[in-house]
Structure 1
């Protein structure tokens, strides 16, 4: 391919002194919002022109676009939600840009289309985000996401007629949707941002409001706020029987909460008395359910791997009582369905479920189909059924209905596929990190590749932060990579939530280097075990995982052939100055505190590019509407990469328009991005698509059990 000529990028002589150290920031001007900064918009256009020209010339791009589209073309469903005898669920026929929302009366009722987001925007970039039916199923409250932004617009429709109501809520963000009877709902929002600051301004003063149907937003009742502590955020939930509202407060991204309870039975109009239930911002508290004055919670209070507790607020002296003690496995979540508890556990980053009596008494284990991830198990006290999804790396989600009275589980919606999932093998290995820590990793290959016992181009994925556990899940893009003969690996690094509080703590703050060491050790393991070809190891990560990729490329550029850094946090000295970045100090530390600064400065991807080293091929991806990790992080990092002498391999940036941090992305954009990434990786890892790599499409994507 012809040599790449990178666009000229202005470098400013901006140097600041932090704790006695001079730090250059020549590309700070690229932090400006592209919507309001013509010079940044011009730079974005020139960078995209170079990148698009390069990617379009990759010989395998057309193949990967075709195969990703084929793997994505199957009918898929969301987990049903039941309200007032109605069943609500999402469905995508396969290649629709956005899933549609359907409703039907009873299990055997005729499906009726309620919402079609595909009609909301010509480019498909306006998405249906969250949705919640009212208790009796009369109304549907839903949130709209435009262009991938974190901001949401809340709207309501009449389920019986499908007609929209006039109600509309603006500036909602990081909110739950909680009905109070049929009269209105609780939600969280921030003050309206200043002109031009919607996509970059810091988020403070989150407040819970009550909106009464049929009234304007400026008449909404203030339910809970902390004006003396504008850094606190608040989210409201309501128990299924409508008796109690729970306000959960947080300060950062740490799962350390305070909880307050509002008794909705004795509420007067305009009065919202919230009394403390949990104080101190010390532990995680996840509401399971409530019945009357009884509440169930999953918590890591005195149980780093979580346990189930309950409290009776009507008791003379209410106190928490343990129902299910802490175990070796992580208790991820629980539900109260019928007269039973459904507990969802995670063991070595894979799911299993158990069903117990409401008092925590002996129950039964729910069998799942191999290594994978189970989700759902939602319901309410008195309900005879629940629904859940199960997915793995080699198979997309199937939806199951479980009869709680009999324990019988039956398929509700199982997709028809264009390939045989059994032709791919999922295994879990454990490897040793730099300090001797044992770390799990999933490895996925076709059976033919695994049987051949020869190293192949391998894509390694990681995240390692914010108490987030990476579990098995399906990706059409990854399937196209596996079909072409590559291998895929996912490492469960420290900093995540795979093993509870201690695992998280071991990979954040001053311990962040452990995450990078774990990822590097995973790559070395794949090469040493003969899974990855020596010159064919690629890495990928997004958001905090983009930071991971940037950091380890700086530390071990020799180990990797290619790297994909997506929507990453790349400037660790200024991340807390934009939108939700201030929350991340829980994981990263405070740039304005010397001890934290020293740690952050030592690994910040933007500040540690190694001039003169031979770097792998790098593709940075971001989006102009990303208001979670603002695109300035990636802009500055890419400009610095292109300025430095790092060898002959490309360092490109792909900047999506009308897209954000990832959620709500239309199918067409996802396919285009996936094809670009795989073609780039194939070029630099040596993956060659065999001429006979074709799979007959199964003639449609019709589900075996129509909901």
Structure 2
């Protein structure tokens, strides 16, 4: 790559360098390269102007305040995670109604999960940092329940420290371990654990052994180094004996898995924790597997081996290679296997399996031989996640749907109807939401589903057709969401933002575009790397289908996506400026010529390709939103709201900064191009208050640009009635 520089001017204030790169013989202009420097005086001045513009725009959005109040009401419930039994304690996190962050709590002296014991808070991020900038990224209690390892990060960087706390006192027992990022922790006793270090530290990435030492630091031991610069390690301890290490290769459907026997006299020969003897489960193959240990002592693996929509296989952990696997639960040709839990007893092991069929979870129990034993009744048409054995034959899981806040459910051994946990807890009062499915034809003829939601009007249902049938409603403001990346299927969990939009009378649609994982590995790969333009074509076809079906008019359609979805909606609007009225792109990728040089871009080559390859580069430039705007000149374009987070270490905030500058100077100028920029948050979790403000701003923008006005009547009761009163008061 060669580069030369010309002179451009930033708002006629100062002479700035305009870089032009030569890539594979093609000149690629980059007039806003200077905005990649987040702390430069020029960038700071430019951001101050964008913040002033955004503040002025918000004052003209009449639904901003009532949307924020409605979202705040909808999330005002206690939010728990599934309980973990350790020693004589039960651990979970709870975010109290009205709270900003979840706290780690412990219940002592309860002989079951009834919640009747003495509860106390072990770690509260708000107490640790009253500014609210510190988040709890992960946590894991020791086997005896006397200590808990918590990882925190500050300012949205997702890079932080791992602290070991005393459960009775909540105080640290030693100096923190630095240089971790969402670190897995696998305790091997009360005083030692394995963890992963992905960045920082001494630069070596891999799985480390840490011995808790209150009297002084002991050097950690690297027990397995990463095999590549772009792999992500993971570690788990199964059955307090089998140490499993994984390495994910970028974001593709591939990982490597090894296992070691930590028992004295086992495969390691010595039982030494600092020198485990590894056996290969699989490595160097296009396979993705996630293991668990059954009560019968067998290793069960959710895997793509021979099953692009995944199946469950079983193996003896002493002979874990794929040649020794047998199928336990087969692949379903119409659904993707998302998760499983090995439950039951040693005599009668069971596999609890969660599948997703076009956004909706299904839960079934199978024998170890794959026989279907029973179907599990979920509370509605929603999303079942975090499926985990409770160690007593049953399981815990999280459930949510479009109208139901996430709740924890406990499923007894042999049961078919889970019950709320903690006992007496209830999800948010239900709101009637209708769900329909329509299909569109993409540019190459592929049939792409689009799921449509609307509040009120009868029971929840599902109808599949080429259009939304027999719907008497007039076209109305509609948000069309898409992600289409990394093989992730769209699952219909709870979003207070979406529900508030529906209650206000809007419609919400989800396009199941290629690049996502809605139909397994093949669906993902047909929208990845050089085929990524297909994801854009799928989204534009979905937008056209909504208009043709009478769901909305062009001026009532707003595209919405975040991260890889932000890239998708920006690319669709750049290629088809007539497609919609507005675009919300949250923390998006935008400059695909340089994505590898920003944030976690080097990890995403398997997903998007690399500019070093001529054919990959041609595909990248065919849809790169930043360059499409620069090259196409002053065309009339939709209104665009970009969000950027200064602490974002995934999709670097240079992407939305540069995209906004391109839209302002080359985007036609007839519709607003706004940047909502935050300085103390990142790509991941944040304080609830900040999340509410972001969501309200984004959807108030969508309301203003699509014509969503004060509702004439409640969309659903009782929340719709309360929302209407706030509209009237506003």
The question of 1:330 aligning with 2:336 is answered yes
Deviation at 1:223, TM superposition (A): 0.8
Structure 1 pair 374–545 and aligned structure 2 pair: CA distance change class (3 A): same
Helix, strand or coil at the partner of 2:664: helix
Where do residues 37-116 of structure 1 align in structure 2 (5 Å cutoff)?
A: 37-104=40-107, 105=110, 106=112, 107=114, 108-116=116-124
Structure 1 pair 205–504 and aligned structure 2 pair: CA distance change class (3 A): farther
Corresponding residue to 2:593 among 545, 556, 573: 573
Where do residues 278-293 of structure 1 align in structure 2 (5 Å cutoff)?
A: 278-289=282-293
Query: Matched residues in 2 for 1:697 and 1:374: separation?
Result: 25
The question of 1:591 aligning with 2:619 is answered no
Query: Matched residues in 2 for 1:264 and 1:652: separation?
Result: 56
Deviation at 1:283, TM superposition (A): 0.6
Q: 1:530 maps to what in 2? A: 550
* 8 Å Cα contact 1:206-1:232 kept in structure 2: no
Structure 1 vs Structure 2 CA RMSD: 2.7
Q: 1:428 maps to what in 2? A: 437
Where do residues 388-407 of structure 1 align in structure 2 (5 Å cutoff)?
A: 388-407=397-416
Structure 1 pair 297–316 and aligned structure 2 pair: CA distance change class (3 A): closer
Q: 2:633 maps to what in 1? A: 611
Q: 1:247 maps to what in 2? A: 245
More off after superposition, 567-576 vs 205-214: 205-214
Deviation at 1:270, TM superposition (A): 3.1
Query: Matched residues in 2 for 1:507 and 1:402: separation?
Result: 37
Query: Matched residues in 1 for 2:473 and 2:425: separation?
Result: 32
Deviation at 1:390, TM superposition (A): 1.7
Structure 1 pair 219–59 and aligned structure 2 pair: CA distance change class (3 A): same
Helix, strand or coil at the partner of 2:420: strand
Where do residues 98-177 of structure 1 align in structure 2 (5 Å cutoff)?
A: 98-104=101-107, 105=110, 106=112, 107=114, 108-177=116-185
Helix, strand or coil at the partner of 1:334: strand
Deviation at 1:8, TM superposition (A): 6.4
Deviation at 1:462, TM superposition (A): 0.4
Corresponding residue to 1:301 among 305, 315, 330: 305
Count of residue pairs the alignment pairs up = 680
Structure 1 pair 491–415 and aligned structure 2 pair: CA distance change class (3 A): farther
Helix, strand or coil at the partner of 1:497: coil
More off after superposition, 251-260 vs 424-433: 424-433
The question of 1:365 aligning with 2:375 is answered yes
The question of 1:543 aligning with 2:570 is answered no
Q: 1:642 maps to what in 2? A: 664
Q: 2:512 maps to what in 1? A: 492
Report the TM-score, using the length of structure 1 for normalisation. 0.91
Residues 433-474 of structure 1 show CA distances to partners (whole Å, capped at 9, x for unaligned) of 222222222211122499642111000100001011111011
Q: 1:200 maps to what in 2? A: none
More off after superposition, 686-695 vs 424-433: 686-695
* 8 Å Cα contact 2:485-2:516 kept in structure 1: yes
* 8 Å Cα contact 1:205-1:233 kept in structure 2: no
Residues 389-413 of structure 1 show CA distances to partners (whole Å, capped at 9, x for unaligned) of 2211122123221111444522225
Residues 303-345 of structure 1 show CA distances to partners (whole Å, capped at 9, x for unaligned) of 1111111111346997112111222122111111232211111
Corresponding residue to 2:254 among 236, 256, 260: 256
Q: 1:22 maps to what in 2? A: 27
Query: Matched residues in 2 for 1:420 and 1:191: separation?
Result: 43
Query: Matched residues in 1 for 2:417 and 2:357: separation?
Result: 24
Helix, strand or coil at the partner of 1:94: coil
Query: Matched residues in 1 for 2:628 and 2:53: separation?
Result: 25
* 8 Å Cα contact 1:611-1:644 kept in structure 2: yes
Q: 1:224 maps to what in 2? A: 224
Where do residues 683-694 of structure 1 align in structure 2 (5 Å cutoff)?
A: 683-690=704-711
Structure 1 pair 516–250 and aligned structure 2 pair: CA distance change class (3 A): same
Q: With a CA cutoff of 8 Å and minimum separation of 6, indicate the structure with the bigger relative contact order.
A: 1
Helix, strand or coil at the partner of 1:90: strand
Structure 1 pair 561–24 and aligned structure 2 pair: CA distance change class (3 A): same
Deviation at 1:269, TM superposition (A): 5.3
Query: Matched residues in 2 for 1:65 and 1:511: separation?
Result: 39
More off after superposition, 315-324 vs 295-304: 315-324
Query: Matched residues in 1 for 2:373 and 2:583: separation?
Result: 47
Structure 1 pair 419–246 and aligned structure 2 pair: CA distance change class (3 A): closer
Helix, strand or coil at the partner of 1:526: helix
* 8 Å Cα contact 2:198-2:232 kept in structure 1: no
The question of 1:671 aligning with 2:692 is answered yes
Query: Matched residues in 2 for 1:299 and 1:69: separation?
Result: 40
Structure 1 pair 27–406 and aligned structure 2 pair: CA distance change class (3 A): closer
Structure 1 pair 154–58 and aligned structure 2 pair: CA distance change class (3 A): same
Corresponding residue to 2:538 among 518, 528, 533: 518
* 8 Å Cα contact 1:288-1:336 kept in structure 2: yes
Residues 65-108 of structure 1 show CA distances to partners (whole Å, capped at 9, x for unaligned) of 22222222223222222223432222222221112222213323
* 8 Å Cα contact 1:260-1:276 kept in structure 2: yes
* 8 Å Cα contact 1:211-1:217 kept in structure 2: no
Query: Matched residues in 2 for 1:406 and 1:352: separation?
Result: 15
Deviation at 1:594, TM superposition (A): 0.7
Structure 1 pair 614–277 and aligned structure 2 pair: CA distance change class (3 A): same
Query: Matched residues in 2 for 1:611 and 1:436: separation?
Result: 31
Helix, strand or coil at the partner of 2:366: strand
Structure 1 pair 666–571 and aligned structure 2 pair: CA distance change class (3 A): same
* 8 Å Cα contact 1:539-1:564 kept in structure 2: yes
* 8 Å Cα contact 1:74-1:416 kept in structure 2: no
Helix, strand or coil at the partner of 2:553: strand
* 8 Å Cα contact 1:295-1:312 kept in structure 2: yes
Query: Matched residues in 1 for 2:562 and 2:319: separation?
Result: 47
* 8 Å Cα contact 2:364-2:372 kept in structure 1: no
Structure 1 pair 351–407 and aligned structure 2 pair: CA distance change class (3 A): closer
Query: Matched residues in 1 for 2:51 and 2:646: separation?
Result: 12
The question of 1:474 aligning with 2:479 is answered no
The question of 1:355 aligning with 2:354 is answered no
Q: 2:453 maps to what in 1? A: 444
Helix, strand or coil at the partner of 1:313: coil
More off after superposition, 281-290 vs 534-543: 281-290
Deviation at 1:576, TM superposition (A): 1.0
